[in-house]
Amino acid sequence: MTPLEKIRNIAIIAHVDHGKTTLVDALFKGAHMFRDNQRVQERAMDSNDQERERGITILAKTTSLHWAGYRFNIVDTPGHADFGGEVERVLSMVDSVLLVVDAFDGPMPQTKFVTRKALALGLRPIVVINKVDRPGARPLWAQDQVFDLLIELGATEEQLDFPCVFASAKQGYAMLDMNDASENLDPLFDTIVKHCPHPTGSSDAPLQMLVTLMDWSDFVGQIGIGRIVNGRLRVGDAVSLVKRDGSLQQHKVTQLYGFEGLTRIQLQEATAGEIVAIAGIADIRVGETIADATSPVALPYVDIDEPTISMMFMVNAGPFAGQDGKHVQSRRIRERLQKELQHNVALRVEDTDSPDSFKVSGRGELHLSVLIETMRREGFELCVSRPEVILHTDPVTGDKLEPYEDVTIDIPEAFMGVVMEHMGNRKAEMQDMGNEGGRLRLHFKIPSRGLIGFRSEFMTDTRGEGILHSLFSHYGPYKGELPGRKNGVLISMETCESVGFALMNLEERGVIFIHPGTKCYEGMIVGEHARENDLVVNVAKGKKLSNMRASGSDEATRLTPPREHTLEQALEYIEADELVEVTPNFIRMRKRVLDTNERKKSEKRSEG
């Protein structure tokens, strides 16, 4: 057992891509957690498939390492604001935060988001200026920017007096001064030991542990992860589970786990200050307290920010339903969403008037699209609607309020005009502008609705060179109608298989989304029309064959590669009368009403 004075509980927080997970890799190596000949995957903490593919951390994870007699419990947190629910919970487990900032970029929007949460909990940050070996790095400038950010966020005198370490997580060294020479991370370990307080609490007091993370094992079922605030916990102990509504349940601890590097180790006993995982409590939820069986006292729960965006999840009712996925019934979809609620605390699921559709609300498009992607990989088929913002009503005036976002845009100067024009059309207000070596950094306040569908347009406007980051700011006055998609769509007229000859002839009508040989059905979107109206087209029209041939008149079928959509791009592209059909192997866009005649009738009814 490690004594309380030798334990350090610390979370790593940063903006997306500033090197949190790489820094954890470097800390593992610096503490010699692996054998010299052991093969270790890069970004070892990103264990989820989607995390590896997207290159971002989605789920908060706990690890532990030993250095010079000290035990460091480290929590790797997501950098994206859409997963802020994960960050807010885990900060209650730790006593300090490592704030990682890119030496070239300085603090970015998500840095602001997670730092605000940490400061509000009274945590004193240890600042790590990472990537000091990067070309164009300006570590001292980045340090000044962090100081300005902390002042802006209302940090206390003690929080402003932060220790600063300059590091390269990739090269595995850290130093306290840019003029120092260093070959390892010992200066960073020393700084954590000196400036991160050891956990408070007494191992002799009655047991208290707040569940902040959830896991699942096929062998032992639900696993609750959290920090023991007071008392001690042994395998076989009887404990009380204090639910969020104050009710009590009696349980027995069947398994107790600690963390050691990338593995989970079995423990017989743990005391105050340690971060542990506990099994044997079937109905456990995030935010509940595991307490002493005889005198249970609940711990305060950290409030999570409310969702800002909602979508409808529906049963796939298209002609190809059930051909690709295993789980298509509304009952299975409902069970899966309820299971997600057990650990995804920033998510909300509501039943609707229809038994086949559910309203799912989250923190942003990425938050919901990660859930949809996870479900399709598990064999689910479903249809989802366009994301819509959640509106509030001002309790005093009765006015309609909508969510606003802080947007930071990095672009080459050449694209300033077109970006400013499109942001203006979407009711964005410019806050400030700076020039960083030929690249402009623009700050806007924009209604969240204005960002739906904007990212793909933005990438086209800036030819892929623009960087856009957004962060929920506040609820403000409703800004009225916003422009929707400019162009109509090309819609398949029948169930068929697309033919190259037909697609080639349709290219002059607009942009095609499908390859030859794609199975289509009536009402499915196969392309974007060059004009504003929708157009029903025949994608199976073959070449008329006769027995006459002439070398000059026979054209080879030459096709432009189709514009294919990822899940996020499809969700952003569709309008209110359209859906995205998601199956394990296909992402299709379709009209809500598939039948052409029925669709015309419903359009007339809505116009009338």
**Binding residue positions for GTP:** 17-22, 130-133
Buried b (16+ CB within 10 A) or exposed e, 384-399: bbbbbbbeeeeeeeee
**Are the C-beta atoms of 39 and 221 separated by less than 8 Å?**
no
Report in angstroms the alpha-carbon separations of 149 from 107, 109, 146, 433. 8, 10, 5, 16
Cα distance between residue 235 and residue 265, in whole Å:
13
124-130 and 164-168 beta bridge pairing: parallel
**Are the C-beta atoms of 586 and 525 separated by less than 8 Å?**
no
**Closest by alpha carbon to 105, among 79, 130, 75?**
130
Cα distance between residue 456 and residue 230, in whole Å:
50
Count of C-beta atoms within a 10 Å radius of residue 371: 20
**Site of tokens 């790095």:** 137
Q: Which helix (H) or strand (E) holds 221?
A: strand 221-230
CB-neighbour burial class of residue 553 (10 A; exposed 0-12, middle 13-18, buried 19+)? exposed
**Are the C-beta atoms of 359 and 312 separated by less than 8 Å?**
yes
Count of C-beta atoms within a 10 Å radius of residue 336: 18
Q: Listing from the earlier edge strand, what are the strands of the sheet with 289-292?
A: 248-252, 238-242, 289-292, 208-217, 221-230, 275-279, 255-260, 263-266
Residues in the annotated binding site: 17-22, 130-133
Residues 6+ apart with CB under 8 A from 535: 488, 489, 490, 491, 509, 510, 529
Q: ∠87-366-154 over CA atoms, to 5°?
A: 40
DSSP string over 120-178: HTTPEEEEEEE-TTSTT--HHHHHHHHHHHHHHTT--HHHHS--EEEEETTTTEEESST
Cα 216 to chain centroid, rounded: 20
Report in angstroms the alpha-carbon separations of 215 from 97, 135, 408, 434, 471. 23, 40, 35, 44, 28
